[in-house]
Amino acid sequence: MRILIRNGRLVDPASGRDAPGELLLADGRIAALDGEARGASAEQVIDAQGLVVAPGLIDLSARLREPGYEFKATLESEMEAAVAGGVTSLACPPDTDPPLDEPGLVDMLRRRAKALARARVYPIGALTVKLEGARLTEMAELAAAGCVAFSQANVGITDTQVLWRALQYAATFGYSVWLRAEDRWLAGGGVAHDGEVATRLGLAGIPVFAETVALATLIELVRATGTRVHVCRLSSAAGVELVRAARREALPITCDIGIHHAHLSEIDLGYFDAQCRLDPPLRSRRDREALAQALADGTIDCAVSDHTPVDDDHKLLPFGEAEPGATGLELLLPLTLKWGGERRLGLAQTLARVTSEPARILGVGAGRLAAGAPGDVIVFDPDAPFRVLPGALKSQGKNSPFLGYELAGRVRSTLVAGRVVYAQP
Amino acid sequence: MTPLPDAEALLEPLVASLRPQLTPTSAMIGLYTGGAWLAERLHAMLGLEAPLGLMDIAFYRDDYHKQGLKHDPKRTRIPFDVEGRDLLLVDDVLYTGRTVRAAMNELFDYGRPRSITLAVLVDRGGRQLPICAQHCGARVEVPEGMRLRLKRTADGRLRLELEPHAA
Amino acid sequence: MPRNPQLNARGELQHLLSIEGLPREILTQILDTAESFVGVTEREVKKVPLLRGKSVFNLFFESSTRTRTTFEIAAKRLSADVINLNIATSSQSKGESLLDTVANLSAMQADVFVVRHASSGAPFLVARHVKPHEHVINAGDGRHAHPTQGLLDLYTIRHYKREFGGLVVAVVGDVLHSRVARSLIHGLTTLGVPEVRVIGPQTLLPAGVEALGVRVFHDMSAGLRDADVIVMLRLQNERMTGALLPSAQEYFMKYGLTAEKLALAKPDVIVMHPGPMNRGVEIDSSVADGPRSVILPQVTYGIAVRMAVMSIVAGN
């Protein structure tokens, strides 16, 4: 099947290109651009007049909730949400039930995802058995089954001896390890940023140094082991500074933030809005500003949706009892565009944070518009309004701090491996 | 509409009407706010022995479920034992009778008086309950939608005023 | 920030969830109304017919006989029907959610919900989901707020000190876990108290507590100097030993209120405590029972304040 996308504004974050052109997809890949594409014959033509054509988004953290939490979301619902949001590749953390600590579970997840033929799914294996932070998983087996990296999801490893050994073992085989930086003891019992708002609302606090203490430990261990570490969901200005210093000495460290953290701060908790209960917590306005800035200057490599569908039974609760997390697959594009717009970045630079940069961390060839690249492409209207209402979300998770808000940016078509997997009705 | 009477001029006749009724157990209670001002004057003019009682019927109003609690209820202070007394209940304007009913309900939560007599400065008619004043300074007709209120000037003189009901 | 969820569209008190954010006029209205109710509570017949036919549900998701009783007395003195539900031991243990419980009771024609919950913010969640004619009163939520306790503290201070301007108020002890302290501090600053001090070890003071408008003291003697009002906070048993404090004895030595320390305050200082007291931990018996103590009057005023709050919200 050959598909020609015409009249669009082609934005390729990998090369910085932002110009009108044509794009031809064939045999699951991008076959040609511009002149070479223009004359080609195609079975299907997509008119992208007034629209942007870009690589599909690559989301390094999206919970599909299978296996184990099918009452919160299913693979079917979340894969529909992904492609409706323009996400063509996603990495899913191992905090399922049971956790992704056995090759069989990983294999099943990949088969199920493949059968649905929507976005590409990259499982992240558990670093320790049951995520308990005690015994290493069979990383080689898990890698063979398709795990692209190893992680503890939001569960830290408290025993630093285990953490050290896990990093050493992963480094032996060249696996990268994706970790949250949060000291479990310092964060213990906390539900919100330890600051003015938590003090006023009487919420148990998670101090910034819960992040920096863990991050400092992690950086030292990377220095010792040379393991490739991706720091997940940075939340503070002080954390950004530690990463900046580590990168200055060329340690193999990358990092991301949840896109919500580029927009929201503790102030948004308002009167105990449980939709703003996130993990890590929303911090001060100063922290938010530092994160948004670091994402622009490249200290933070990429933004993720940290998609976490939560059902009402677990969200319509007092703030501290509500399950943390927000739905995000369908908000990643509009929220990234909003961030880029606020910082006056070009579209190519903006989209790099959710396409070419995460592709580099994931080690995949997607995330670019070039002949020979995977045929993962989206066509979207960057200005089309999108009101965040439960009925407008395909994800089973309707939990969002942005419920009721109007954002800009709607996907018209999503193509994965050269096939149209979503077309806006 | 007839012009409003001079409140000050009504005091003497009211006192004259009340004086023959007094007994050794008589005591006076004024209803906030206008009735309390009036009662202060009458109490002094009559030279009553028992100290003056003041009452705010806010907690006994029958329109609470519609109007809510009024903003600044005064504290009811009845500095004598109500039990067995001949009470003179004093209010400025008698209208629907609901205030008087509420006042009597409240009074009985203080004890069982021997009798209650009602004295008002003016009666504007419009009764909704079977209540009447034994002592009344004047009868006036007030147009529908208007409210008749007693005011006290800075030098302590009493004056009747008409104002739109919404105020 | 969304509209203050306690106020209705006319700016009147629809629910009482927190003292924070309430305008001075509403606080004064509550205190003035409470003063009238104090008159009622001193009568032979301590009841008024205001809430006749209304139903007040005491929803205690965290048990507290003391607070529940004061709300019950207040509601009964307003002639309301009172239904006590100790949910700490009933439906929640069967897995029913907070909102389901409230929806069920709402179907039984409730007018006022008095909510006590171990989680900060729970009454806000309830208030967001009740019907427009229903009212929610926060009877203590987690570490967040205990507005009626704060109001009765304010009432007591006003009763003894007449004015708030010019006062030095010292709040001593476990501010970190205290909903009473948070409510009182907001009330004091709103009503114009120029100097509110908090006194305690760093482990018992929350991050950035200065942002609430208070001065922080770690040395009790310095903090009590020239105080007009001293509010002692209760220290929960489980916090007396561990990582926050080494022992009750050492706490008493550093932060217990003794006659000796009391002498540093103004001669006409009043000493308050929200109760229940730990004698010999936060306060010495000679002070608790001494001439400067107004701890028992606080309890009496507490009923009148709760009557005022119920009758104001239920009428709006």
Q: In this predicted model, what pLDDT tens digit does every residue of A171-191 receive, in sequence order?
A: 999 999 999 999 999 999 999
Contact residues on chain C for B57, CB-CB shorter than 8 A:
none
Neighbour-count burial for A79-110, b at 16+ CB within 10 Å, e otherwise: bbbbbbbbbbbbbbbbbbeebbbbbebbebbb
- Residues C193, C220: one domain? yes
Cα separation, A320 vs A314, whole angstroms: 11
- Residues C118, C227: one domain? no
| pLDDT band (50, 70, 90) for residue B167 | very low
Q: C2–A271: do the CB atoms touch at under 8 Å?
A: yes
Cα separation, C76 vs C56, whole angstroms: 9
Neighbours of chain B (3+ CB pairs under 8 A): C
Q: Tell me which of A321, A323, A403, A405 to substitute to probe the interface with C (most C C-beta atoms closer than 10 Å).
A: A321
Q: Which of C29, C48, C312 sits opposite B60 (nearest CB)?
A: C48
For C47, the closest chain B residue by CA position comes to: B109
Q: C38–B75: do the CB atoms touch at under 8 Å?
A: yes
- Residues C73, C163: one domain? no
In a domain, C2, yes or no: no
Strand, helix or coil at A321?
helix
All residues at 6 or more sequence positions from A266 whose CB lies less than 8 Å from its CB, including other chains: A192, A193, A195, A196, A197, A198, A281, A282, A283, A284, A285
CA–centroid distance for A180 within its chain: 13
Q: C18 with C183: CB under 8 angstroms?
A: yes
**Upper half-sphere CA count for residue B38 (Cβ side, 13 Å):** 34
- Residues C100, C174: one domain? no
Cα separation, A417 vs A30, whole angstroms: 9
Cα separation, A228 vs C237, whole angstroms: 47
pLDDT digit string, tens, across residues A39-92: 888 999 999 999 999 999 999 999 999 889 888 889 999 999 999 999 999 999
In a domain, C9, yes or no: no
Q: C5–A271: do the CB atoms touch at under 8 Å?
A: yes
The domain of A111 spans 55-362
Neighbours of chain A (3+ CB pairs under 8 A): C
**In terms of DSSP bridges, do strands B135-139 and A419-423 run parallel, antiparallel, or are they unpaired?**
unpaired
Phi, psi (5° rounding) for residue A142? Answer: -65, -40
- Residues C151, C141: one domain? no
**In terms of DSSP bridges, do strands C215-217 and A2-12 run parallel, antiparallel, or are they unpaired?**
unpaired
- Residues C286, C175: one domain? yes
- Residues C269, C294: one domain? yes
Q: Which of C124, C125, C212 sits opposite A199 (nearest CB)?
A: C212
Neighbour-count burial for C104-136, b at 16+ CB within 10 Å, e otherwise: ebbeeebbbbbbbbbbbbbbbbbbeebeeebbb
CA distance B166 to chain C (A): 16
Q: Would you call B67 an interface residue with chain C, using a CB distance cutoff of 8 Å?
A: yes
Q: A415 with A291: CB under 8 angstroms?
A: no
Cα separation, A382 vs A50, whole angstroms: 10
In a domain, C10, yes or no: no
In a domain, C4, yes or no: no
Contact residues on chain C for A203, CB-CB shorter than 8 A:
120-121, 142-144
Whether there are 3 or more C-beta pairs closer than 8 Å between A and C is yes
For C37, the closest chain B residue by CA position comes to: B75
Cα separation, A109 vs A130, whole angstroms: 17
- Which residues 98-117 in chain B show a CB within 8 A of chain C? 105-106, 109-111
In a domain, A375, yes or no: no
pLDDT digit string, tens, across residues A136-154: 999 999 999 999 999 999 9
Domain count, chain C: 2
- Which residues 176-195 in chain C show a CB within 8 A of chain A? 179, 182
Q: A195 with C207: CB under 8 angstroms?
A: yes
Q: A202–C207: do the CB atoms touch at under 8 Å?
A: no
Beta strand extents in chain C (DSSP E only): 55-60, 81-86, 112-117, 135-141, 168-172, 195-199, 215-217, 229-232, 270-272
In a domain, A8, yes or no: no
Q: Which of A194, A272, A313 sits opposite C121 (nearest CB)?
A: A272
Cα separation, C151 vs C146, whole angstroms: 9
- Sequence letter at residue C234: R
The domain of C126 spans 24-145+301-315
- Residues C291, C272: one domain? yes
- Residues C162, C287: one domain? yes
Give yes or no for residue B86 having a pLDDT over 70.
yes
CATH code of the domain containing A215: 3.20.20.140
**Residues paired with B53 in a beta bridge:** B29
Cα separation, B41 vs B38, whole angstroms: 5
- Residues C309, C247: one domain? no
In a domain, A234, yes or no: yes
Specify the pTM.
0.92
In a domain, A312, yes or no: yes
In a domain, C176, yes or no: yes
Neighbours of chain C (3+ CB pairs under 8 A): A, B
For each of chain C's 316 residues, which pLDDT tens digit applies?
Answer: 457 899 998 899 999 999 999 999 999 999 999 999 999 988 888 999 999 999 999 999 988 888 999 999 999 999 999 999 888 765 555 567 889 989 988 998 899 999 999 999 999 999 999 999 999 999 999 999 999 999 999 999 999 999 999 999 999 999 999 999 999 999 999 999 999 999 999 999 998 899 999 999 999 999 999 999 999 999 988 888 788 999 999 999 999 999 999 999 999 999 999 989 999 999 999 999 999 999 999 999 999 999 999 999 999 8
Give yes or no for residue A309 having a pLDDT over 80.
yes
In a domain, A306, yes or no: yes
Q: Tell me which of A193, A194, A199, A266 to substitute to probe the interface with C (most C C-beta atoms closer than 10 Å).
A: A199
The H or E element that residue A296 is part of is helix A285-297
Cα separation, C16 vs C29, whole angstroms: 13
In a domain, C202, yes or no: yes
Q: B56–C49: do the CB atoms touch at under 8 Å?
A: no
Which residues of A belong to the active site? 306
- Which residues 189-228 in chain A show a CB within 8 A of chain C? 194-196, 198-205, 207
Cα separation, C157 vs C153, whole angstroms: 6
pLDDT digit string, tens, across residues B109-150: 999 999 999 999 999 999 999 999 999 999 999 888 889 999
Q: Tell me which of C16, C17, C124, C239 to substitute to probe the interface with A (most A C-beta atoms closer than 10 Å).
A: C124
**In terms of DSSP bridges, do strands B86-94 and B53-55 run parallel, antiparallel, or are they unpaired?**
unpaired
Q: Which of A194, A202, A204 sits opposite C182 (nearest CB)?
A: A202
The confidence score (pLDDT) of residue B144 equals 81
- Residues C112, C56: one domain? yes
Domain count, chain A: 1
Q: What is the DSSP letter of A274?
A: G
In a domain, C19, yes or no: no
Q: C125–A270: do the CB atoms touch at under 8 Å?
A: no
All residues at 6 or more sequence positions from B154 whose CB lies less than 8 Å from its CB, including other chains: none
Q: Which of C4, C97, C179 sits opposite A202 (nearest CB)?
A: C179
pLDDT digit string, tens, across residues A245-284: 999 999 999 999 999 999 999 999 999 999 999 999 999 9
Q: C174 with C164: CB under 8 angstroms?
A: no
Q: A318–C97: do the CB atoms touch at under 8 Å?
A: no
Domains of chain B (ranges, CATH numbers): 7-61+78-164 (3.40.50.2020)
The confidence score (pLDDT) of residue C265 equals 98
CA distance A204 to chain C (A): 8
**Upper half-sphere CA count for residue C238 (Cβ side, 13 Å):** 1
- Residues C36, C122: one domain? yes
In a domain, A175, yes or no: yes
Q: Which of C20, C98, C145 sits opposite A317 (nearest CB)?
A: C98
In a domain, A395, yes or no: no
Convert A178-190 into a string of H (helix), E (strand) and C (coil). EEECCCHHHHCCC
* Torsion, Cα of B155, B156, B159, B164 (10° steps): 90
The confidence score (pLDDT) of residue A12 equals 98
In a domain, C1, yes or no: no
Q: Tell me which of B59, B82, B110 to substitute to probe the interface with C (most C C-beta atoms closer than 10 Å).
A: B59
CA distance C32 to chain B (A): 7
For B77, the closest chain C residue by CA position comes to: C39
CATH code of the domain containing C125: 3.40.50.1370
